[in-house]
C-alpha cells in the first residue's frame, strides 16, 4: 500500500451506527480527507453533519459544489446528489439519474476518486442492502487503491459488503471495532 491521500467511506442501511462508533476514535492529526457517502432520504437528515461533528474533533461539513478537498476534514455527500471528485481535487455535484436506486451513488464517488487518487486512495464499504459500491471498488482495485469492507458478521445489513467480497479482491475485512484503528494507521 502506498501512502493515503484520501479515504472514502460508503454505506447504506446500518452504516450510520458504524460511523457513530468509529468517528470518536479517529486521530485529529489525520493527514488526508475523509469523504462519506451514505444513502439517506432527501431533505430528512440535514442534521447529519451536526450529528457526526458531535462525535469527533475533526471538521465535519456537507460538500459544496467546486469545493477544494482539504486534508483533515470529514466531508459528507449531500442527499440527492452524486458526489464526483474532479482531477483538480475539487468536488462536483451531479443530479443525473439514480444508480442502483441511489443518489448519491457510492459507485460514482469511488470511481471518480480512484481515477484521481489512484494507488493513494482507500475505500471502505459498510453495511447496506444493495450492491452500490461494488463496481466502485472494482475501479479502486484497477487503479491500485485499497478496498476494505465491514465484516459481514458486524454489518447490520450484510448484503452490500457481501456483494463486494464476492466480486472484488478485498484487501481487508474489518469489524466495527477495528475500522477506527485501521483509519488511524493510514499514512
Residues with a known catalytic role: 12, 39, 132
Phi, psi dihedrals of residue 22, rounded to the nearest 5° = -80, -45
Per DSSP, what are the bridge partners of residue 9?
36, 124
Q: Which residues pair with 47 in a beta bridge?
A: none
Q: CB count, 10 Å around CB of 86? A: 14
- CB contact at 8 A, 69 and 75: yes
SS3 53: helix
Amino acid at each position: 500500500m502506498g501512502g493515503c491521500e484520501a479515504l472514502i467511506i460508503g454505506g447504506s442501511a446500518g452504516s450510520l451506527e458504524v460511523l457513530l462508533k468509529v468517528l470518536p476514535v479517529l486521530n485529529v492529526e489525520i493527514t488526508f480527507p475523509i469523504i462519506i457517502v451514505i444513502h439517506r432520504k432527501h431533505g430528512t437528515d440535514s442534521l447529519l453533519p451536526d450529528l457526526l461533528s458531535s462525535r469527533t474533533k475533526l471538521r465535519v461539513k456537507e460538500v459544496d459544489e467546486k469545493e477544494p478537498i482539504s486534508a483533515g476534514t470529514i466531508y459528507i455527500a449531500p442527499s440527492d446528489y452524486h458526489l464526483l471528485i474532479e482531477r483538480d481535487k475539487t468536488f462536483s455535484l451531479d443530479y443525473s439519474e439514480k444508480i442502483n436506486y441511489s443518489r448519491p451513488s457510492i459507485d460514482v464517488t469511488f470511481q471518480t476518486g480512484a481515477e484521481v487518487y489512484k494507488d493513494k486512495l482507500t475505500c471502505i464499504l459498510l453495511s447496506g442492502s444493495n450492491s452500490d459500491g461494488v463496481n466502485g471498488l472494482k475501479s479502486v482495485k484497477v487503479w491500485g487503491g485499497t478496498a476494505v469492507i465491514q465484516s459481514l458478521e458486524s454489518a447490520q445489513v450484510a448484503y452490500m459488503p457481501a456483494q463486494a467480497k464476492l466480486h472484488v479482491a478485498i484487501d481487508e475485512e474489518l469489524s466495527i471495532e477495528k475500522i477506527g484503528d485501521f483509519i488511524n494507521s493510514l499514512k
